[in-house]
Amino acid sequence: MARLPDRLGPLVLSQQLGLGRQCQVWSCKDDSLGRQVAVKILQTGYDDDRLQRRQLEHELAVGRSLDHPGVIRLDRLTVYEGFPCLVMELFPHPNLRRFVTGSRDRLLSRLPKILLGVSEALAHMHARGWVHRDIKPANVLANRAGEIKVIDFAIAARPPGALGRLLWRRQQPQGTPSYMAPEQIRGQPPDPRSDVYSLGCMAFELLGGHPPFTGSNTHELLSRHLYNAPPGVEASNANVSAAASKLLREMMAKRAADRPAAGDVARQLHQLRLYDREPTPPAAADGGDGSN
């Protein structure tokens, strides 16, 4: 992408937080609000793409319908200097993907609070009529206290009613292969329990150090989601309690109807012990995780 100007309208760009194929995310000072914000900016080459613009409009509509401390707040979508900009709350902490790729020991002690927070955020989304459809480590930000923000509502969708399910035509699967529920893979209607499956896969990876299913190619990976029984996470982390391992297997049940709702997951996580022995928190002087 061509270098952005230092200012886009009232937004004074300060630090790039993320870079994707279609957009990049920056922290900014928003002079119109008088505070720091984050902004998602469409990449050059996509700024006139109607589909990408509609996705940002959709993401804003979803975000504005939500009101939960575990969900990122979205403010507005506007065009500055020819760049469509989605302005949102700034939560200046890394996503969970960073820990999976090399700092998992710094995550384990706060993981009970993180997983509880994500399940509560999803329960709120589902109560407001939305399925996120892309729950994964990269879409959850977390600070050292275990507080989280679920982000990226680009492919969130509302479940159809009874008639809509009857008339539903199979669609192209949307989501991330390592975390997709069987019904997502089959292109079936959006279902809140698909998010529960994805959360189970994410929790397994954070606890065990690798996803529950892998494959030499995407077809093999998706086939394992469809047909292989979910593995027990205790084989990869012997400190995970039997109750937590059982809950993860229930969350990754092949049939959506056999999975608990997100609210039930939150209640169980609040009651059970995730570990047999509490992991030792890392020393405060270990260099941190880039968060405060």
Domain limits, the chain: 7-88, 97-271
Domain 97-271 classification at class level:
mainly alpha
Residue 37 in contact with residue 73, Cβ under 8 Å?
no
57 vs 153: CA distance, rounded Å: 10
* pLDDT interval class at 50 (50, 70, 90): confident
Q: How far is it, in rounded angstroms, from Cα 203 to Cα 206? A: 5
Give the pLDDT confidence score for residue 64 in this predicted structure: 96
Q: What is the pLDDT of residue 88?
A: 97
Mean pLDDT of the chain: 90
pLDDT digits (tens, 9 = 90+) for 170-216: 777 789 999 999 999 999 999 999 999 999 999 999 999 999 999 99
Q: Catalytic site residue 48?
A: no
pTM: 0.91
DSSP-derived letter for residue 40 is E
Question: In 10 A of CB 63, how many CB atoms?
Answer: 23
- Residue 110 is predicted with a pLDDT of 93
pLDDT tens for each residue of 219-229? 999 999 999 99
Q: What does the pLDDT read at residue 279? A: 86
The closest of 186, 162, 164 to 174, measured between CA atoms, is: 186
For the domain made up of 7-88, give the CATH fold: Phosphorylase Kinase; domain 1 (3.30.200)
From 75, 134, 152, 191, the catalytic residue: 134
